[in-house]
A and B are shown apart, each in its own frame.
Chain A
């Protein structure tokens, strides 16, 4: 026999301990995805309890249900449209007054709602006593005390939720927020109007609809237009008439007056249910903040934390990355030795295994970074970091929280772009994602080291530093530009709660970390892998190319010519000859490789687009190298190694010498570095941008914008430099 299904939605303020309760109920049986069409995260969990199969949905944390932010719209729509069997409102008991604002709004929505007074222990140590029976009676809702991080009261909560879901009780008409006389008058008039004039059906509770129309709620107005038939215009007109009357009466917008009155109603409840003993408490959280947001030591400590996070992510992360790389190489070598040479082997080794390798190699970074970010978030330090950095980030038109993802961009853009999840406002998130690639990631450093080291000698360090600085400056300019054009609109208000510091739960940290890793592997891994195979194919095809000379025959000839000499030579000479022979063979193999990459599709594309790079002082070899850099920026150096160096040694000295003897000048090297800094991000980053902005549109925009900018900047560097006399 199947047990019965029930859906339970968890609503609540941010920092109310909602996620902790969600994790406690569902454990690891969670599914993380996005809400349809948007990039706000949706978490669902499944659990069987008391003979029921429960689907638990973690709604986004919100303070209110006005449709300003995506989170609020999602929460409201879910309750209204999906009609979960029960909504549990998780209330921070130590923050009752503000929490009740959302609670009263949920109450107005006409769903079966249940209050969980969470963090009951914290409230108690703060000398607060809440009369739960009174609260339950006043608002006509079941109330349960819980302590989320100690897993107390959770079973009772679920039991009550099931009981409520199974009860047939009518949602009472009374016990809701009562507004002042004039507003109530308008509400009931509008209600009557709605009842009489709608041809279709008003999809929601009539009183609620009337209230929302008075509040000029855009979404409800749209739904009325869609659903209420030909009289919908009349309804909106009638609503506007009442609004005008109320504006005149109160000298303020009705929604403002109603917000005021809701808080008035809440104040009345608070007076009846909450008693605060006057005992003076020691507020640990405030004491911690005396240091952590201190005028003098606040910033140094912040930078210390950030430095530690960066080091952990990229320096500690480098070890497992090395192991993964080593493992992949080992596998490659093994398969290389056992498989016969053919196209499939080439695809497997250079396409698929390299591709898989380049996906999982990011995993350590992502796991460590998100462990640190979860630590910052769960302790409450993240909002302090935003508090400290907001002034600076606001100059670029961003929120204080954008700092962390942008900084992580210097390590690797993939986890950095995933870290923009911490930003609540979608505009802030998009803007941060667009400018993060200008933070020069660590994979670009080898390119700078080769180019600057070759052409700038002792001042290479300064040149590289300037490149990094140029990236930061261009991100600021881009930020300001986009803020005032395509991403215009009021900055997200900085009405940010600074929650009390809390000891994080290791379970929550691990769940959060693993969620990110899973998303990365599942949602982005495939794209990156496919991209790697395409890049491989571009380099590997066409198969039957015409080489300028028959390398195989030539290699045989070289070998043969040495054989004769070697048989006659004595022992020391023999070794010398052997070395010389190997060198000659290697040289031929390298020439073949160079010719192969020149004649591959990738090389041909490189040569076709070479004229585009000419004004930048970059020859076709440079443009092919840049093109292969799309797979991963490190590859730029190895492609240059193949194309420029026709020598046997594959080390950086050889490449440096080859570059010096090529047409490249210090100026064109600088232009190339500028181009590498700015041009389209690597495949994995592009996949991350697609995933985190939720749209191909932004992905293409980012690719085109960065590449155009790179070209313009490199052009200015090269041509401008020539004009003022450098070469």
Chain B
């Protein structure tokens, strides 16, 4: 499942971070990497971007970026 398909207040584990180039590396460097747990805190009022909690801090990603991230174990 893609991260962008998750609903608010769901938790999941990241399986793969796709995309390429600097953007992908930047996402990884912020701690959004394979094996990390990720929690969908909320979608912005206009449904984009998404607020996530990862490694204990809040971070936002655009939906198109979140669509590159595969997750499983969605709860």
Residues of A near any B CB (own CB < 8 A): 63-64, 66, 68, 94-95, 97-98, 101, 255-256, 259-260, 263, 286, 289, 293-296, 298-299, 383, 387-388, 390-392, 394, 490, 493-500
Contact = CB atoms under 8 A, between A and B. Distances in A.
Contacts of B25: 66, 68, 255-256, 259
Contact of B26 (A289, A391, A493): A493
A299 B55 contact: no
Interface string B32-72: 11100000011011111101000111111110010000000
A391 B47 contact: yes
Nearest to B62: A494
Contact of B30 (A63, A68, A299, A500): A63
Contacts of B56: 94-95, 97
Given A97-B31, A256-B24, A391-B46, 4 more contacts: A98-B57, A259-B28, A260-B28, A263-B33
B27 interface: yes
A426 to B, nearest CB: 14
B23 interface: yes
A498 B65 contact: no
A23 B29 CA distance: 28
B45 A298 contact: yes
A145 B56 CA distance: 20
Nearest to B28: A259
B57 A494 contact: no
A493 B65 contact: yes
A394 B22 CA distance: 19
25 contacts: A68-B25, A95-B57, A98-B57, A101-B31, A259-B25, A260-B28, A260-B34, A263-B33, A293-B45, A298-B44, A390-B44, A390-B49, A390-B60, A391-B47, A391-B49, A490-B22, A490-B23, A493-B65, A494-B60, A495-B30, A497-B58, A498-B51, A498-B59, A499-B57, A500-B58
User: Could you tell me the dominant secondary structure of chain A's interface residues?
Assistant: helix
A387 to B, nearest CB: 5
User: Could you tell me the dominant secondary structure of chain B's interface residues?
Assistant: mixed
Nearest to A302: B45
Given A259-B29, A387-B44, A293 B59 contact: no
Contacts of B32: 495
Give the top 6 A-B pairs by smallest Cβ distance, nearest first.
A391-B46, A498-B58, A64-B29, A493-B23, A494-B62, A391-B48
Interface of B: 21-34, 41-42, 44-49, 51, 55-62, 65
A301 to B, nearest CB: 11
Contact of B21 (A490, A498, A499): A490
A497 B57 contact: yes
Contacts of A493: 22-23, 26-27, 65
B55 A494 contact: no
Given A98-B55, A98-B57, A68 B47 contact: no
A192 B66 CA distance: 41
B62 to A, nearest CB: 5
Nearest to A274: B56
Contact of A295 (B45, B57, B59): B45
A63 B23 contact: no
B60 A68 contact: no
A66 B65 CA distance: 20
A289 B44 CA distance: 11
B45 A497 contact: no
Contact of B49 (A294, A299, A387, A490): A387
Given A256-B25, A495-B65, A497-B57, A391 B44 contact: yes
Contacts of A255: 25
Contacts of A68: 22, 25-26
A63 B60 contact: no
